[in-house]
């Protein structure tokens, strides 16, 4: 225990505010933020009582003359997608984490494709990635279902004799699940950057500091371009067991990266509804979708050039617990060591 921790543990603490106290403080502070007050910056010198008296006096005067003067035009405060992302990132960074020995992420993969059939099929699979306390890593991909997804596709499938579509559960009894690509990557964020879990968890929570720390591992001999390398690392970071603060910083790092913009109007075919970090990869548009309220990562989706979303990875759950992951039976090489 260092000297600061001694002071923190020895000196008396303050009980948390009651719900009523918190509500009163929230009301008091947020009421003031509804006034467009930039020109009143000097009001910081005034006491709250003074402000209240001034406000009351203004209200009386305005009330007296309101019938004779036009209503003042209050310019709406613009809230850009970037500002919304900032707010979401603040919320994420302040989110406490559950405790546990295992970190696990369950992602549902959805892909709309013609695949080998003559009609459109929606394939679904579950992918799990987990890390344990003794450098163990678990990762598997389990096909779930393949179904025709449009009225035309359904008709074509029926015309075809309603065959069982694969990949799906039960298609391959010898290998119902197989090792995921992420298992091999483990905690690797980019070429030449493979932190341990401890190192990952201690990455900076500030975008500028995070950028600087990541770039310490950048090697132009290994990766040709620095910014794409950095974007790749940041985009792996947001799906990793990094702390909420680091993941929030990675959002902002991505949001300010060249070629990435924040958008707040995305197609919701797969149920993803949130802010998105949008980027182009060739003809395809990728969207990293973030919950506006909590800042948590909801998933990713891909849009065809005409703007139709055709594939998604939906985060079903992610976090820490004491439950050891158990790969499906017959899952070969679905566990490894970092």
Among 17, 50, 268, 305, binds other proteins (CB under 8 A): 17
Cβ of residue 214: shortest distance to other proteins, in angstroms?
15
Q: Which of residues 212-271 bind other proteins (CB under 8 A)?
A: 245, 248-249, 252
User: CB atoms < 10 A from the CB of 315, how many?
Assistant: 18
Among 43, 175, 181, 304, binds other proteins (CB under 8 A): 43
Choice between 37 and 118, CB closer to other proteins? 37
Q: Which of residues 58-97 bind other proteins (CB under 8 A)?
A: 77-80, 82-84, 86-91, 93-94
Choice between 7 and 73, CB closer to other proteins? 7
Choice between 210 and 266, CB closer to other proteins? 210
Residue 10 within binding range of other proteins, rule CB under 8 A: yes
Q: What are phi and psi for residue 137, nearest 5 degrees?
A: -135, 140
Say which DSSP state 193 is in: B
Binding window for other proteins (CB under 8 A); candidates: 25-33, 67-75, 107-115, 195-203: 25-33
CA atoms of 140 and 127, how far apart (whole Å): 6
Q: Do 255 and 85 contact (CB within 8 A), yes or no?
A: yes
Among 154, 205, 228, 291, binds other proteins (CB under 8 A): 205
Cβ of residue 1: shortest distance to other proteins, in angstroms?
7
Binding window for other proteins (CB under 8 A); candidates: 148-156, 206-214, 219-227, 280-288: 206-214
Measured in Å, how far apart are the chain's first and last C-alpha atoms? 30
Cβ of residue 247: shortest distance to other proteins, in angstroms?
11
CA atoms of 142 and 106, how far apart (whole Å): 11
Beta-bridge mates of residue 317 = 106
CA atoms of 57 and 59, how far apart (whole Å): 5
CA atoms of 285 and 79, how far apart (whole Å): 24
Choice between 169 and 205, CB closer to other proteins? 205
Cβ of residue 24: shortest distance to other proteins, in angstroms?
8
Q: How many helices and strands (H and E) does the chain possess?
A: 10, 10
Return the structure tokens found at 39.
């020109």
Choice between 57 and 90, CB closer to other proteins? 90
Residue 297 within binding range of other proteins, rule CB under 8 A: no
Three-state secondary structure call for residue 321: strand
Residue spans of beta strands (DSSP E) within 225-308: 261-263, 275-281, 284-290, 297-303
User: CB atoms < 10 A from the CB of 125, how many?
Assistant: 21
Q: Do 121 and 114 contact (CB within 8 A), yes or no?
A: yes
Among 21, 162, 196, 219, binds other proteins (CB under 8 A): 21
CA atoms of 145 and 98, how far apart (whole Å): 32
Cβ of residue 4: shortest distance to other proteins, in angstroms?
4
The residues binding other proteins (CB under 8 A) are 1, 3-17, 21-22, 24-26, 28-30, 32-34, 37-38, 40-41, 43-44, 48, 51, 77-80, 82-84, 86-91, 93-94, 205-208, 245, 248-249, 252
């Amino acid at each position: 225990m260092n000297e600061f921790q001694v002071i923190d543990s020895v000196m008396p603490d303050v009980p948390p505010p009651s719900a009523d106290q918190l509500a009163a403080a929230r009301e008091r502070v947020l009421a003031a933020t509804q006034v467009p007050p930039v020109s009143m910056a000097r009001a910081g010198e005034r006491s709250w009582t003074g402000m209240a008296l001034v406000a009351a006096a203004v209200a009386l005067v305005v009330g007296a003359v309101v019938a004779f003067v036009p209503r003042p035009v209050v310019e709406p405060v613009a809230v850009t997608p970037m500002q919304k992302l900032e707010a979401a990132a603040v919320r994420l960074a302040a989110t406490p984490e559950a405790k546990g020995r295992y970190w696990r992420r369950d992602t549902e993969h959805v892909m709309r494709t013609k695949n080998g059939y003559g009609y459109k099929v929606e394939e679904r699979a579950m992918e799990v990635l987990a890390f344990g306390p003794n450098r163990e890593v678990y990762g598997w991909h389990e096909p779930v279902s393949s179904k025709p997804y449009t009225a035309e596709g359904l008709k074509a499938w029926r015309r075809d004799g309603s065959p069982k579509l694969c990949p799906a559960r039960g298609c391959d009894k010898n290998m119902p699940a197989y090792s995921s690509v992420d298992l091999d990557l483990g905690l690797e964020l980019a070429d030449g950057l493979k932190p341990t879990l401890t190192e990952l968890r201690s990455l900076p929570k500030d975008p500028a500091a995070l950028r600087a720390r990541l770039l310490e591992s950048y090697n132009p001999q290994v990766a040709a371009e620095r910014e794409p390398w950095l974007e790749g690392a940041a985009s792996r970071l947001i799906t990793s067991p990094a702390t909420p603060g680091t993941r929030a910083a990675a959002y902002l790092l991505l949001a300010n990266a060249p070629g990435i913009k924040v958008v707040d109007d995305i197609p919701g075919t797969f149920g993803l509804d949130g802010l998105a970090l949008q980027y182009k990869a060739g003809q395809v548009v990728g969207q990293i979708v973030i919950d506006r309220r909590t800042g948590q990562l909801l998933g990713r989706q891909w849009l065809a050039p005409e703007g139709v979303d055709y594939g998604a990875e939906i985060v079903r759950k992610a976090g820490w617990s004491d439950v050891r992951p158990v790969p499906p039976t017959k899952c070969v090489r679905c566990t490894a060591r970092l």
